[in-house]
Amino acid sequence: MTQANAEFAHSEGNSTMANGVNSHAEGNVTVTLGANSHAEGDGTLASGPNSHAEGSGTVASGANAHAEGAGTDATGDNSHAEGSNTTASATNAHAEGDSTTASGTGSHAEGAGTRAIGNNSHAEGAGTTAQGDNSHAEGGGATANGANSHAEGTGTTANGANSHAEGGGTTAAGTNSHAEGVNTAANGNNSHAEGDTTTAGGTSAHAEGSGTSAGGSSAHAEGSGTNASGSNAHAEGAGTQATGNNSHAEGGGAQATGPQAHAEGFNTLASLDNSHAEGAFTQATNISAHAEGEGTIASGERTHAEGLGARAIGNISHAEGLNTQSVGMISHAEGEGTIANGIRAHAEGLGTQANGAQSHAEGNSTVAGGDAAHAEGLLTQATGGSSHAEGESTIALAARAHAEGLSTQANGINSHAEGANTIASGINAHSQGDTTTASGNNSHAAGSNTVADALNSFAGGSNTNTGGLTGAYIMGENGTARFANSFHVANGLAIGPTLNSVILDGPGGNLYLDGAVLSPAAADYAEMFETADGQPIDAGYFVTLSGERITRAAAADSYILGVTSATPAFVADSSDLRWQGLFLKDEYGRLLKDEQGERILNPDYDPDQVYVPRRERQEWVAVGMLGKLIVRDDGTCVVNGYCKPNDAGIATASASGYRVMKRISDGLVRILFK
C-alpha cells in the first residue's frame, strides 16, 4: 500500500510513503519526509528538504542531500553519498566507494574505508584518512592529519600543517614538512625526509638516503646511516655524524661533534669548535684543531697534525710526517719519529727531540734539551741552554756551549769543542783537532792529544799538556809545561821523556833554550847604559865608564867598555817592557813574592805615569861589549891590523888592540871586540 500524505505528494510502488510537500516516493518501502524530496529504490529515506535517496537502504537526511547506492548516508546539507555503506555527514561533503566517510565540510571521501574528516579534505584509496582541514590522503592507509597536508602511498602520515608524506610508512610530522620514500620521518617544521628509514627531526632539516637522521635545525643528512644532529649540520657518506652546530661530516664513520667542525674520510673525528679531521682514523679533538692523513691526532688548541701517526698535543703546535709529536705550545715536529716537547721548539728529521723551550733538533736521533738549544747531524745532544751540537755524536752539555765534528763534548759554560773526540769542559774553554781536552776555564787545546787543564792555558801541537799550570802556553809535540803564565815549545819523544826546547818564563822573565840563539843580521852582545851627561852618543864610538854611566873614550883611557852599537844581536838591561822598579826586590835583585806566590807591586809605582822604554830615550845607549862591531875610524885602520880609540873616541891604527876585520867605507871599519 502506498501513501501520499502531504500536499502535492506522490507515492507509487510497494509500501512507499511520501510525507513531504511535493515529495515523491517510489519503489519498495521508500519514504520521503522532506519537502520536494525524492526516495526511490528499496528501503530508501529522503528526509531532508530537496533531498534524493536512491538505491538500497540509503538515507538522504540533509537539505539538498543525495544518497545513492547501497547503505549510504548523506546527512549533511548538500552532501552526496554514493557507493556502498558510505557516509557524507557534513555540509557539501561527498562520500563514494565502499565504507567511506566524508565528515568534514566540503570534504570528499572515495575508495574503500577512507575518511575525509577535515573541512574541504579529500581521502581516496583504501583506509586513508584526511583529518586536517584542506588535507589530502591517498593510497593505502595514508593519514593526512595536518591542515593542508597531503599523505599518499602506503601507511604514510602527514601530521604537520601543510605537510606532505608519500611512499611507504613515511611520516611528515612537522609544519610544511615532506616525507617520501620508505619509513622516513620528517618531524621538524619545514623538514624533508627521503629515501629509506631516514629522519629529518630538526626545523628545515633534510634527511636522504638510507637510515640517515637530520636532527638539527637546517641540518642535512645523506648517504647511509648518517646523523646530522647539530643545527645547520651536514652529514654525508656512510655512518658519519655531524652533531655539532654548523658541522660537516663526510666519508665513512666520520664524526664532526664540535660546532663548525669538519670530519671527512674514514673513521675521522673532529670533536671541538672549528676543528677539522680528514683522511683515515684522524682526530681533531680541540678548538680549531686540524688533523689530516692517517692515524694523526691534533689534541691541542689550534693545532695541526698531518701525515701518518703524527700527534699535535701542545696548543698552536704542528706535527707532520710519520709518528711525530709536537708536545710543547707553538712547537713544530716534522719528519719521522721526531718529538718537539719544548714551547716553541722545532724537531725535524729522524728520531730527533727538541725538549727545551725555543730549541731546534734536526738530522738523525739528535736531542736539543736546553732552552734555545740547537742539535743537528747524527746522534748529537745540545743539553745546555742556548747550546749548539752539530756533526756526529757530539754533546753540548753546558749553557751556550758549542760542540761540532765527531764525538766532541762541550761540557763547560760558553765552551767550544770541535774536530774529533775533543772535550771542552772548562768555562769558556775551546778544544779543537783530534782527542784534545780543554778542561781549564778559558783554556784552549788544539792539535792532537793535547790537554789544556789549567785556567787561561793553551796546549797545541801533538801530545802536549799544560800540567795544571795557570796561564801556561805550550805547543810542539810530546811535552808538558813547567811554568805558569809562560810560553813553552815542546820537543819530546813519543815513547820516552816529554821535553821542552823553548820556555819563556812569564813570571820570572827568563828564557830557556835547548839549542842556539841565531841572529842572521845582527852580531854583537850589548847592554844598555845611561850617558854621564844625559846626552845621546851615536853608534860607532868607543866608550868607557864613569861610575855606572858612560862617556866617549879617549886615547889615554886604560879601560874600554865597548862600542856603541846600532844593531846588537842581544841587548841586556834594556827594561823594554816595564819600569825596572815596578816590583819589590831584595838586595841581589831577586823579586819578592807574597804568600800566594804573586809579585809585590812597588808602592812608589805611579800608574798615571807613561813608561818610555830605555831604547826610546836619548840618554840610554846600547853598548856592544862582545862580537863584531862597526866603529868609526880616522882612515888609518887596515884590515888584519889593530886599532885603539883616539881622543875623539873613534878608531885609529895601532900595533895592538882590537882586530880590524873589514873596511866598510872611508870612515867605518868592522872590528872584533872581546
Instruction: Return the bridge partners of 544, or none.
Output: 551
pLDDT the model gives residue 502: 87
Residue ranges of domains in the chain: 394-513, 525-577+613-673
> Which one-letter DSSP state was computed for residue 76?
S
Candidates 1.10.645.10, 3.40.190.10, 1.10.260.40, 2.150.10.10; CATH matching 394-513? 2.150.10.10
Stretch 637-657: mean pLDDT: 98
520 pLDDT exceeds 80?
A: no
H helices then E strands: how many in the chain? 0, 81
188 pLDDT exceeds 80?
A: yes
Q: Three-class SS of residue 301?
A: coil
78 pLDDT exceeds 70?
A: yes
> Which one-letter DSSP state was computed for residue 56?
B
User: Which backbone phi and psi does 533 adopt, to 5 degrees?
Assistant: -100, 5
pLDDT digit string (tens) for 333-388? 999 999 999 999 999 999 999 999 999 999 999 999 999 999 999 999 999 999 99
More confident residue, 494 or 530: 530
Q: What is the per-residue DSSP string for 572-636?
A: ES---SS-TTSB-B-TTSPBPB-TTSPBPBPTT--TTSPP--GGGSTTEEEEEEEEEEEEEB-S-
Query: In the chain, pLDDT over 90 holds for what percent of residues?
Result: 93
pLDDT the model gives residue 566: 95
Q: How confident is the model at residue 496 (pLDDT cuts 50, 70, 90)?
A: low
Q: Three-class SS of residue 549?
A: strand
pLDDT digit string (tens) for 112-127? 999 999 999 999 999 9
**The C-alpha cell of 128 is what?**
586513508
Are 476 and 503 in contact, with CB atoms under 8 Å apart?
no
pLDDT digit string (tens) for 424-453? 999 999 999 999 999 999 999 999 999 999
Q: How confident is the model at residue 209 (pLDDT cuts 50, 70, 90)?
A: very high
The whole-angstrom separation of Cα 237 and Cα 264 is: 9
The whole-angstrom separation of Cα 475 and Cα 601 is: 31
Cβ-Cβ contacts under 8 Å for 109 (sequence gap 6 or more): 86, 88, 93, 94, 95, 96, 97, 100, 101, 102, 115, 116, 122, 123, 124, 130
- Amino acid, res. 502: V
Are 555 and 644 in contact, with CB atoms under 8 Å apart?
yes
**The C-alpha cell of 183 is what?**
619509513
Instruction: Assign a CATH topology to domain 525-577+613-673.
Output: Virus Head Decoration Protein; Chain: A, (2.40.300)
- Amino acid, res. 156: T
Stretch 169-197: mean pLDDT: 96
172 pLDDT exceeds 80?
A: yes
Stretch 532-546: mean pLDDT: 98
539, with CB counted inside 10 A (0-12, 13-18, 19+), is middle
The whole-angstrom separation of Cα 106 and Cα 363 is: 86
The whole-angstrom separation of Cα 406 and Cα 181 is: 74
> Which one-letter DSSP state was computed for residue 50?
T
User: What pTM does this model have?
Assistant: 0.71
pLDDT the model gives residue 106: 97
pLDDT the model gives residue 671: 98
CA 192 to chain centre: 45
The residue behind cell 771542552 is 424
pLDDT digit string (tens) for 555-601? 999 999 999 999 999 999 999 888 999 899 999 999 899 998 888 99
Among residues 188, 189, 187, 157, the alpha carbon closest in space to that of 170 is found at: 157
pLDDT digit string (tens) for 221-238? 999 999 999 999 999 999
pLDDT the model gives residue 647: 97
pLDDT digit string (tens) for 655-668? 999 999 999 999 99
**The C-alpha cell of 481 is what?**
809545561
Q: How confident is the model at residue 628 (pLDDT cuts 50, 70, 90)?
A: very high
Give CA separation, 150 vs 99, 144, 168, 193, 265, in Å.
21, 6, 14, 14, 39
User: Residues 522, 524, 529, CA angle at the centre, nearest 5°?
Assistant: 115
The whole-angstrom separation of Cα 557 and Cα 555 is: 6
Q: Three-class SS of residue 91?
A: coil
170 pLDDT exceeds 70?
A: yes
Are 291 and 284 in contact, with CB atoms under 8 Å apart?
yes
